[in-house]
Chains A and B, each alone.
Chain A
């Protein structure tokens, strides 16, 4: 079905289930319980999960298939964001044009940068993309302030033209980004026993786009084009000797992954209409590399998991402060409580990067295939043994 093999279809359905049920799955703890701190089922974070999953899935098309490690993909995300906000400001508060234009702008931008950067490979390619991204960041943060808002960021205003909407500014409030009148921030909240589930419009729009993006990525992975990209990764030189010019293929992969990044950027501003320069910084480019490696390079679902894990750590671990830790460990004898708080506190709150680093180190050392590699390995072992037993 849908041109997919049975296992790919199952994978797509698995992702469909995950994103559709996320508001419930991510809120495993009742509102009043002390573990409610760990609930991630609120719109802002859920939107981030799927948007960064799109970003990582796109990045994986370049990095996972061709092996070209770009350190500048945040620049495309940023370019997409700025294009998106400008669409919301100038054209209409409807998010559809913003999302489409941000994808296209990022596509053009990545075509230019990719055309130049892909003249080199390996470490030189990475450094070139990093240089371009830092240039874009510097431009956005100061030189292009009239277009990007500089360090203040670019946001919508009451007196924006919004030529297609016309009289919408008469309400005295800036209209919220919407899809044909359905505001992105609208939610249905359901109290179910002690649980609170929030079904948010913006989240489901992003989730739908993630599914489409994920489906496209499966098709690319399984296509002859994808096969060619894998050939580039395994032996670029041999491919050249057989008379095939690999550059158009890598450039195509670069532009596709750039467009995914732009799409993610466009969705980010559709959910929250502000674009700041720091989303183009090299740390943001590094983050997507981490997501893909953590989840599993070259696997299909891996980047989605990696994105989820990093965003979860960023938003949940970073909120745990010392007073909360003291509450948790209060059941222990006093000396032990202080001891535990001292031990744990460097890894949470401001120090969440430390726990992320540890996690990354463990995954890279013990699970070379990333999280997804670990999971499939585990399943393989369990089911592998069983099937063997059946065979005998």
Chain B
């Protein structure tokens, strides 16, 4: 270095002056322009004839199938909200605020993004929807890790988050947020609904081995199933965590039989569950005997898409689900009909919950008369409704969790079609799966309109 290290002071000063001058110019000039952020009552307040919703779903990774089905349901919901199609569940919904002319008279438009089932990517995608596309509400996702991350982002940014498929207790438990709402059921409800059925069918002196997806959903599901089965006398032999990105589970399944367990509980979802169940069957666990009993496999959270992926292997396996297309109530029938007509196959539970969430959001806007997250939130809190496929449902004000009946299902032994894979064993009434809002800790905080 040939030049002197310390620059002459005057040079610094000149630069400083220039910079400061430019900066103060910008600051002084700002109020002279019309500044959007300060004129609005809340962030991304729609001013034109349209309103933009952000559909943030996994398009790649272990939950891509669920994501694709969610997107179909969103497109259907938008069509119905804008007055197209046959109106689907808008006709059976107990609230009649929606008129088929968009939301508050504004045509519904949407943007989509890929969560990749990674919290980082999901937040980046949601941020660009809010900052670039002006989305007023973010919804979707098929993982609780993502749901918790995006919900926190929406709380900070000041938009409503309508959770998609997320089953962890955390979403409306320890990580609940005032701007976030969940229609889907949770691990606690699965455990509470599943345990009595398992007791009836497999007896009360079983030894369980858990394989658990290594993130917040896996943890709470394992916890819920453990607690409720141990309460009736089951014993937990081991609980092993498996990475979400795992595709080959043979090394995890291999030690199960030697462990002395006679039930394998797969706290897996999506492609994880398809792969782990397939390996378990390949290892001959279903035909095996242990402790003088038939070896059994349980999948706490089931979906038709998973059943389809796992094929033959799901026959006779118990699990719980939020909704199933074979339900005979008016709302479910209407939804299955319009979804089936548009896409040629019945919707999954992921499609159902996201469709319902979109309708519930739109309805809350209509009833509140605003898109302001605080107004919408107040309209959703304590809202009781019916006709959306799960019977009478309550959006509890304390934790923004929906309470409704839970379905216990079983892989069908003799499916009549490629979609007829699950049969409903029992509909557990909402009262049996309701819990105190404070048991998971966490605080809602206050609603944030973003300005």
Q: Which residues of A contact B (CB under 8 A)?
A: 1-5, 20, 39, 42-45, 48, 141-142, 145, 150-153, 155, 157-159, 171-174, 176, 185, 187-192, 196, 198-199, 219, 222-224, 272, 274-276, 278-279, 315, 318-319, 321, 350
Residue from A4, A151, A176 in contact with B215 in the complex, judged by beta carbons closer than 8 Å? A151
Q: Which residues of A contact B446 (CB under 8 A)?
A: 171-173
Known: A152-B119, A153-B119, A192-B33. A174 touches B128 (CB 8 A): no
Known: A222-B1, A272-B127. A185 touches B157 (CB 8 A): yes
Q: Which residues of B contact A199 (CB under 8 A)?
A: 26
CB interface residues, B 120-153, toward A, < 8 Å: 120-121, 123-124, 127-128, 131-132, 144-145, 148-149, 152-153
| Interface pair B149/A350, CB less than 8 Å apart | no
What range describes how many residues of B lie at the interface? 35 or more
Q: Which residues of B contact A20 (CB under 8 A)?
A: 22
| Interface pair B34/A191, CB less than 8 Å apart | yes
Bound Cα distance A172, B374 (Å)? 14
Known: A173-B155, A274-B123. A191 touches B36 (CB 8 A): yes
Most interface-central of B34, B120, B241, B442 (chain A CB within 10 A): B120
Q: Which residues of A contact B132 (CB under 8 A)?
A: 39, 42, 44-45
Q: Which residues of A contact B1 (CB under 8 A)?
A: 3, 219, 222-224
Q: List 15 A-B contacts (CB under 8 A).
A: A42-B128, A44-B128, A152-B148, A172-B445, A172-B446, A173-B446, A176-B156, A188-B30, A189-B37, A190-B30, A191-B34, A272-B153, A274-B120, A274-B153, A275-B120
CB interface residues, B 246-272, toward A, < 8 Å: none
Encode B64-81 as 1/0 by CB contact (under 8 A) with A: 000000000000000000
Bound Cα distance A164, B113 (Å)? 38
Sorted from nearest, which 6 A-B pairs have the closest CB atoms? A276-B120, A172-B446, A151-B215, A153-B119, A44-B127, A42-B131
| Interface pair B448/A350, CB less than 8 Å apart | no
| Interface pair A1/B11, CB less than 8 Å apart | yes
Q: Is the interface of B mostly helix, strand, loop or mixed?
A: mixed
Q: Is the interface of A mostly helix, strand, loop or mixed?
A: mixed
16 further contact pairs, Cβ within 8 A, besides A153-B119, A173-B156, A276-B149? A3-B5, A4-B3, A43-B131, A45-B132, A152-B215, A158-B445, A172-B178, A173-B155, A174-B445, A188-B26, A189-B36, A191-B33, A196-B36, A223-B1, A315-B124, A318-B114
Bound Cα distance A151, B219 (Å)? 12
Bound Cα distance A2, B8 (Å)? 8
Q: Tell me whether B60 is interfacial, beta carbon within 8 Å.
A: yes
Bound Cα distance A275, B121 (Å)? 11
Chain A residue at minimum C-beta to C-beta distance from B1: A223
B222 to chain A, nearest CB (A): 14
Chain B residue at minimum C-beta to C-beta distance from A158: B443
Q: Which residues of B contact A5 (CB under 8 A)?
A: 3
Residue from B22, B111, B156, B442 in contact with A185 in the complex, judged by beta carbons closer than 8 Å? B156
Q: Tell me whether B112 is interfacial, beta carbon within 8 Å.
A: yes
| Interface pair B128/A319, CB less than 8 Å apart | yes
Known: A3-B7, A39-B132, A171-B446. A142 touches B243 (CB 8 A): yes
| Interface pair A153/B156, CB less than 8 Å apart | no
| Interface pair B215/A150, CB less than 8 Å apart | yes
| Interface pair A151/B145, CB less than 8 Å apart | yes
Q: Which residues of A contact B6 (CB under 8 A)?
A: 3
Q: Tell me whether B118 is interfacial, beta carbon within 8 Å.
A: yes
| Interface pair B35/A152, CB less than 8 Å apart | no
| Interface pair B443/A172, CB less than 8 Å apart | yes
Known: A153-B149, A158-B443, A185-B156. A278 touches B3 (CB 8 A): no
